[in-house]
Structure 1
Amino acid sequence: MEVLDQLQRTIEFKSVPKRIISLVPSQTELLCDLGLEESLIGVTKFCVHPHYITTKVAVVGGTKQIHLDKIKALQPDIILCNKEENTKEIVEACENICPVHVSDIYTISDSIELIKQYGVLFDRQKQSEAMSAKIEAEVTDFKMFLKNRRELKVAYFIWKSPWMVAANNTFINHLLELNKFTNAFDRQERYPDVLLEASGGYEAIQVVLLSSEPHPFNENHKTEVQEYFPKAKIVLADGEMFSWYGSRLLKAFEYFKTLRLNLENNLTY
């Protein structure tokens, strides 16, 4: 069997891979929702969905630092990585152990492509097709929900010290656009540092979203950020809904609807 990953690399297998290591939290959740939990033999310490998975499956490190000896000892058939989450060095090191599939996600279409690739790779075509169709239906319904709603100018923060935002050419930005949120930093690329100044310059920004990950923003940070955005609504955002691109998308659009309705009830624009 030959399959392509999302870097267009050919991976060859004599049979369906049965022993899977996932180095990406959102992909771990996706595998479990495709019915592959029993095939998982290794995950990262950040794989929090299902909530019990790290108590059932060996933890082989994080997304940026892994224990190669532990991975090798588990004798995996395949290791699943992501271009953004895992370094090139990690992918190359893992390739010395077994075949590695690398995802590369920027859009909903990329997410659906990955789900279907896993369907073929792990003999879960029926489940992957059903999941893909459900996500596509959710997107269509959400676009109808937003049809007569206005654009809102937003900033989406992922880190502090230094302050960092999600900018253009990211999956987060793609979902912001889908939400009819105009990203105030869309002229920059990826995840730039931002110098915040109390003197202002951000008057046009209506909403500031503080992501729950990778930095765990909380209520205490809202007051701190409000100083720089005195006219904006400061909101704690569920980072999983904006950045997890697997089966989490099945839950994301109801969350986005609630977020939009709450904003409209609290904004004057």
Structure 2
Amino acid sequence: MKKKNTVTIALVMILIASIIFLIYRQRKSTEAELFLNDWEGYICASNNEVFLLQIPWFVINKDIKLSEIKFDLLNLPDTAEIIKKDIELRYSRENISQYLINFYIKIKTPHLYKNDNLNLIIEKSNVKDIIPLGRWVFEIIPYEQNELRIREHITMSSGKNIDYPYYMFVVENKSNQPVTLNDIAYDSPNLTKINIKYDDNATLENNEWKDFPIGGLTLAPFSSKAVAVFMESKNPQKLYALKPKIIYSINDKIFEMPGDMYLVIISMSKEDIIRKAMR
């Protein structure tokens, strides 16, 4: 009887060990990472402005020690300075963690920089990966005091397929003279501007959009209006970062100022993330 019990216990231990091994092997086989890196970006900023560039990073079935990770951007313009960089955990659930790799950047020299070779370099456990980040345009303009101010704006559009994104903001004339908003400009080949519309109400709720005047939208002193740029994406699976250039005039003199950041992000389910990561 004792021998039989010993054999039974041994079989149970073998079974438990086998289950643990299979679970471990399955866990190891589904370890993966996914960087959202197919970007088309246009950033207008002044030469004393710090702007934020973010790369979403999904980690599946892995424990990440952020303190041991080294990361940087390759092929920024020569006059660019990374003021700060960090990695923040956005969420962690069902064995999937989403991080944001953040770079706070200042480009000191006004110029139009076009870059098809911007790369993220990330090193973990002495393994170095170089991740291409798509097409980027950095238009750096001289800093000046502006008579317009963006009071609020929509920061992001997110969905499975975003064919017609829109950039909306409320603009305020801070001056004591009329200011004409002439255009909202950007350089993004796959994100076509369809039209610009406006609403006299200074809010982004329950808007009744009107056609943008041919000669520009005039704002009376100390007044505000809502503005929307309606666009079409030629590639709804692409990621877009848009910080447009706002062009306005006072007494026929043209001025330029940076807008605020707007992102077009493809939303993904857990299954989407795993499928893309396993490719």
- Larger-gyration structure (1/2): 2
Q: Select the structure that is richer in strand.
A: 2
User: Could you say which structure has the greater relative contact order, defined with CA pairs below 8 angstroms and 6 or more residues apart?
Assistant: 2
Q: TM-score range by the shorter chain?
A: under 0.3
Q: Select the structure that is richer in helix.
A: 1
TM-score by length of 1: 0.26
TM-score by length of 2: 0.25
